[in-house]
Structure 1
Amino acid sequence: MKPRQALWRMVRATPKLYVTDIVLQLFRSAIPLLPALVVWKVLDQYSHGSNLTSGVWVMVGLLAGIAVARVTVLLMSVAMDAEVESAVGSMLMRNSFARILDAPGAAALRKPVGDVVSRLGGDTTTIAEMFVYALMVAGAGVQALLAVIVMMTIDPLVTLVVFVPLAAAGVLINLASSRIKDYHRASRLAAGEVSAFLGDAFNGVQAIQLAGAQRPIIARLTSLNEQRRRRTLRSRLFTETFMVSLWTNTAHVGVGLVLIIVAGQMNEGTFTVGELALFVAYLGWIADFTSLFSQNLAMYKQSVASLNRLEEILPAGGSLACLTTSASTRLVDVDAPRRVPLMCLEVRDLTFLHPNSARGVHDVSFDVQRGTFVVVTGRVGSGKSTLLRSLLGLIPLQGGEIRWNGELVTDPAQFFVPPQSAYTPQVPRLYSDTMRHNILLGLPEDDERLRLAVRSAVLEQDIDHLEHGLATLVGPRGAKLSGGQLQRVAAARMFVREPELLVFDDLSSALDVDTERRLWERLAEVSGRTCLAVSHRRVAWERADHIIVMADGRIEAQGTLEDVLRASSEIKHLWHEEGA
């Protein structure tokens, strides 16, 4: 889909909004033409010796009424412009974000996080502002057309002559359009590089401090900012200063030509003072239209660049069509999935291979019965995390099937969410908020439910030692917590949702043996809890009802601890390594 088709598709998504705005723009643009008509007639009457004593108040009344009407329509039009800008920006941001969230969980962003945020903010704003200017240009175009018609009825030759400099300026602007797009893309690219660098620097503060790299980091940031300043300055000088000054001076040239041409006619009485006043006033409005048109042309070129930049952050398969899909931009309440009590989870021949690689999982089959503790183990790279991710729909299945109580799960990504299941990855994500809000994550306050979740996660003693308890701010990505605390907060987030299936990916990697033992013991205290966990610890194996041993993406053995110790060389190796 071409950019102009994508932009037109956005208009078609909410046509009533744009039609309303255009109607208001027409009134907003037509009303300012009326005062010049009133002044034209009044000055001509006065120049012919008419007595204006009785007509002055009529003129004042007309101009006052016109002013009130203009202000009223202007306020309505500005409000509608804001609606259009909000609708466009919201649609682009919502669709971009939704597409990113719909991507498989293992798919990394195509651009750094800081750059993605910059594009979602700056580039969507550029496109939204272009739409508003386009509607203003439509109204100003009708205004200019009406002005030209009136001027042509007065003197066609003068009207045509004053359009020569305007036409020349239009040719110059058209020739410069490709450079406008290039300058804007370079400016936005530099801004994205600064945002991306800041995002990486904030995420790696500790590494920067340990390496003593503060000065080089600041020097690099200074260099990127200087590059952004130069590119932004060049873009603005060209698209704003050069173009605006060109159209402003063009209008002045037009007024000068009118004065030169009509000077003789005024001496002969064939061109009146009122007509001169009208020409000067209308030339200003025509110049405004051409100025707006040139600015909108520049903004269109910038918007094409911005659309392409938004397309670049979409996951594989994303396109401009995804960005301009018609959908409500308002948040709505979504009903939670209906709880389906787990009796048996059946996995058959599950297969997923990473792109351009033979690594992954092959033909994995196992069952998880209600109330059991199933542990997946194996060496690094054996496919444990890939198994969990493919089961939960975080990466697309390439083969096999999953059944919940015998019913086929056709869309794992939509099914394996609370209250069916909850998942904690190897590196949990927390938000820069309080510990309470990180655990609840939108759930209504329930002190007893929260207390039980905290206890199950073996967090109560940690919270008692924090200055503000559950109200403690955890910092960006939980930076104020230890690795073990971060994992247990994520576990509490799972427990508070009381899912049918708890899925842990190496939760114990940052826990000491005693803490992990207590966590598994408390997990078993609640009757009916079903758990599928990746772990390499003996304490987990000893409590497990069923162990799955992975090797090279396949199940080498499964069964009780005694069964796998007897059948699997992998777990024998891990057993002795763990005990060493």
Structure 2
Amino acid sequence: MMSATKKLQGWKLLWQLICYKPKLYLIDTCFWILIMGLPALPGLIIREFFNSLTGEAQFGLSPWIFIAFLLALNLGHIAVIFAGRITKTQHRFTMRSLVRRNLLERLLNNPHAQPMIAKGETNKTVSPGEVISYFRDDAEQIEDNVAWVSEILGEGIFAVISLVILLSVNVQMTLFVFLPLVGMVIIIQQTETRIKRYRIASRQATEKVTGILGEIFGSVQAIKVAGAEQDVLEYFRNLNEKRRQMMVKDSLLNAILNSLFQNMVNLGTGLILLMTSFLMQSGASKLTVGDFALFVYNLSFVTGFFNSLGRFIAFYKQTEVSFERMAALISGASADTLVAPNHLYIQDLGKTKKALPQLEQPLENESDRLQILKISNLTYYYPNTTQGITDISFEIQRGSLTVITGRIGSGKTTLLRVLLGLLPKQSGEIYWNGNIIADPANFFVPPCSAYTPQIPQLFSYSLRENILLGLSKTDFEIETALKMAVFEQDLVTMNQQLETLVGAKGVRLSGGQIQRVAAARMFVRQPELLIFDDLSSALDVETELTLWSRIFANRHEQEQNNWTPTCLVVSHRRSVLRRADQIIVMKAGRVVAQGNFDEILGDQQADWIF
């Protein structure tokens, strides 16, 4: 029962893809019918040609006229193939893009601090490199299957027409045509499990190779520092060897099946032709040479369709694997999400008068500016563990500095991620000016808030592009943000100033410079809430003190510019703790103390915290 449901689910998903652009699919199908149909017409011309040579022609035309008809049909066939390829390419691109777009949207809607898990028999974690296999191989498999549906439909229509012609020539000979089809059905039923098992194994092997490639390119420095180049390369070779073995098995099975289907068709064709020759020699049949030529010509359309049908069914079994893999990756959502109708082009959004997303989104009302942020009983536990945060509650006032501190593993970073929606809260509420925040992940973005993690992400572009990320700001505004981030002296030493390329992940910058560039990225947006996760981890004490003094020393000037920054910070530095308006001490995922520096520490030692 479960197997039958899965099969119906696969066909349902294919049908939904077809219905996404029905006009495009119908045009593509019509072209394919013409591509298959035009070659069927020469059969009639060939019969008259041979009958004209034996004096049995019905129209009495010259053989040269039939040759001219054949040339004209072939030229028309070439033109239809060229036009059909244009629509076929567009149809393929649309189907593939829809699946990839929906898969990407679903993955981006997942909490970003949680790992991607392909839920199935193993519930294994999937790395970003491994996801490439889903977007490339599985999406192309589905695309090919959808495209093949129109092709098999076109072949089927003319196989039926050719079958009618065969029956009109000789019924007994035509019945032998169905023998290969019976054999194909038996083969597919016997090999279905192996087809899917080999395809799953080959996809998983490819997934591991793309995953390790991503890990290698992302950890080049760590590999070189550890002197592990040879070990990593050897591991990479082993993965490639396993992939080669799995791909060979998968490809070999496909080749064997295709060979079986083709040979069964050829064997059936040979038997039919042998029977026809006996009938003609014995005189038991009134077949003319033209009828025989017509029968042989149209026989190829029927047997060719049976061959394509067998390969199509085997190919669909492999497509089921792709649908199952993608559905496992977006666990928690229906597989229908993969094929749900969606906009693929920006102009499509314009037609529906849907507002395009803006990079700069000023606050709509003055009342939206942060006055008080309240966190109430916030709770989150990592899957299958008791680690996380429990019943966290505190308030943050506008323009204040709140510092979260505690020992390593006390839940500080987890708290920030749950607050920002990067991890899904399991209970508790977040209030902005008394209004509940239902979707923190989409709310806590500029201009409401900006976040710098412990290890900020920079891109292989210029300093300017890393700070703006598409925003439209003047050089003065950028330099002001850099000065606030205590980066002005570093900028002076750079030959190309703002156009300096920082390299992959900011490799040309020091750890402290990377953190200050990330801070400048926040400052240039002037958000209501600034969230730093351990900014001091790569900064010396003097630089960090200067940065905090620049954030708060010119508060009056900033208020005149209509920007009063409110800061939520993870830090262990006493200098920052002394400046804080509020300190939140965490231990084992809970708040164990809350207040200002004097109330919590005073003259006591802070060993119990750190």
Same-fold status (TM-score > 0.5): yes
Name the amino acid aligned to 1:573: D
Q: What is the CA deviation profile of residues 490-538 of structure 1, one whole-angstrom value per residue up to 9, with x for unaligned ones? A: 2222122221111111111111112211221222233412211111112
What is the CA–CA distance in structure 2 between the aligned matches of 1:385 and 1:53, rounded to whole Å?
91
Q: Aligned match of 1:135 in 141, 150, 153?
A: 150
What is the CA–CA distance in structure 1 between the aligned matches of 2:419 and 2:216, rounded to whole Å?
34
What is the CA–CA distance in structure 2 between the aligned matches of 1:251 and 1:354, rounded to whole Å?
57
Q: Aligned match of 1:546 in 582, 586, 598?
A: 582
What is the CA–CA distance in structure 1 between the aligned matches of 2:231 and 2:191, rounded to whole Å?
39
Q: Which is worse superposed, 500-509 or 475-484?
A: 475-484
What is the CA–CA distance in structure 1 between the aligned matches of 2:593 and 2:184, rounded to whole Å?
78
Name the amino acid aligned to 2:606: K
Aligned to 1:502: 530
Shift in CA distance, 446/122, structure 1 to aligned 2, threshold 3 Å: farther
- Equivalent position SS for 2:405: strand
Q: What is the CA deviation profile of residues 455-492 of structure 1, one whole-angstrom value per residue up to 9, with x for unaligned ones? A: 22223333443454443443433334322222222222
- Equivalent position SS for 1:573: coil
Q: What is the CA deviation profile of residues 355-376 of structure 1, one whole-angstrom value per residue up to 9, with x for unaligned ones? A: 4444433333332222222222
Name the amino acid aligned to 2:161: L
- Equivalent position SS for 1:431: coil
Contact 2:404–2:570 (CA<8 Å) still a contact in 1? yes
Q: Aligned match of 2:301 in 263, 285, 292?
A: 285
Q: What is the CA deviation profile of residues 422-465 of structure 1, one whole-angstrom value per residue up to 9, with x for unaligned ones? A: 11112222233333322222223532222222222223333443
Q: Aligned match of 1:242 in 256, 260, 264?
A: 256
What is the CA–CA distance in structure 2 between the aligned matches of 1:133 and 1:212, rounded to whole Å?
50
Does 1:260 find its partner at 2:274? yes
Aligned to 2:235: 220
Give TM-score, length-normalised by structure 2: 0.86
Aligned to 2:568: 532
Matches within 5 A, 1:17-416: 17-48=24-55, 55-56=62-63, 58-110=65-117, 111-239=126-254, 241-267=255-281, 268=283, 270-314=286-330, 316-331=331-346, 333-335=356-358, 339=363, 340-416=368-444
Aligned to 2:121: none
Shift of 1:266: 3.9
Shift in CA distance, 319/433, structure 1 to aligned 2, threshold 3 Å: farther
- Equivalent position SS for 1:351: strand
Contact 1:345–1:402 (CA<8 Å) still a contact in 2? yes
Shift in CA distance, 223/343, structure 1 to aligned 2, threshold 3 Å: same
Shift of 1:225: 1.1
Contact 1:536–1:574 (CA<8 Å) still a contact in 2? no
Q: What is the CA deviation profile of residues 148-169 of structure 1, one whole-angstrom value per residue up to 9, with x for unaligned ones? A: 1111101111222244245434
Shift in CA distance, 540/574, structure 1 to aligned 2, threshold 3 Å: farther
Shift of 1:251: 4.1
State, as a whole percentage, how many aligned pairs show the same letter.
Answer: 38
Give TM-score, length-normalised by structure 1: 0.90
What is the CA–CA distance in structure 1 between the aligned matches of 2:395 and 2:52, rounded to whole Å?
98
- Equivalent position SS for 1:292: helix
Q: What is the CA deviation profile of residues 223-276 of structure 1, one whole-angstrom value per residue up to 9, with x for unaligned ones? A: 21122112212211221x323333433443344334322324445482222222
Contact 1:247–1:287 (CA<8 Å) still a contact in 2? no
User: What's the RMSD between the two structures over aligned residues?
Assistant: 2.7
Shift in CA distance, 180/508, structure 1 to aligned 2, threshold 3 Å: same
What is the CA–CA distance in structure 2 between the aligned matches of 1:244 and 1:364, rounded to whole Å?
62
What is the CA–CA distance in structure 2 between the aligned matches of 1:449 and 1:487, rounded to whole Å?
19
Q: Which runs of 5+ in 1 are unaligned?
A: none
Aligned to 1:518: 546
Name the amino acid aligned to 2:289: V
Shift of 1:127: 1.3
Contact 2:437–2:443 (CA<8 Å) still a contact in 1? yes
What is the CA–CA distance in structure 2 between the aligned matches of 1:461 and 1:298, rounded to whole Å?
65
Name the amino acid aligned to 2:310: S
Does 1:573 find its partner at 2:607? yes
Name the amino acid aligned to 2:328: E
Q: Which is worse superposed, 271-280 or 188-197?
A: 271-280
Shift in CA distance, 50/400, structure 1 to aligned 2, threshold 3 Å: closer
Aligned to 2:123: none
Q: Which runs of 5+ in 2 are unaligned?
A: 118-125, 350-355
Contact 2:370–2:432 (CA<8 Å) still a contact in 1? yes
What is the CA–CA distance in structure 1 between the aligned matches of 2:414 and 2:184, rounded to whole Å?
61
Contact 2:145–2:319 (CA<8 Å) still a contact in 1? yes
What is the CA–CA distance in structure 2 between the aligned matches of 1:35 and 1:93, rounded to whole Å?
42
Shift in CA distance, 142/193, structure 1 to aligned 2, threshold 3 Å: same
What is the CA–CA distance in structure 2 between the aligned matches of 1:554 and 1:324, rounded to whole Å?
43
What is the CA–CA distance in structure 2 between the aligned matches of 1:451 and 1:176, rounded to whole Å?
67
Aligned to 1:11: 18
- Equivalent position SS for 2:438: coil
Q: Which is worse superposed, 353-362 or 141-150?
A: 353-362
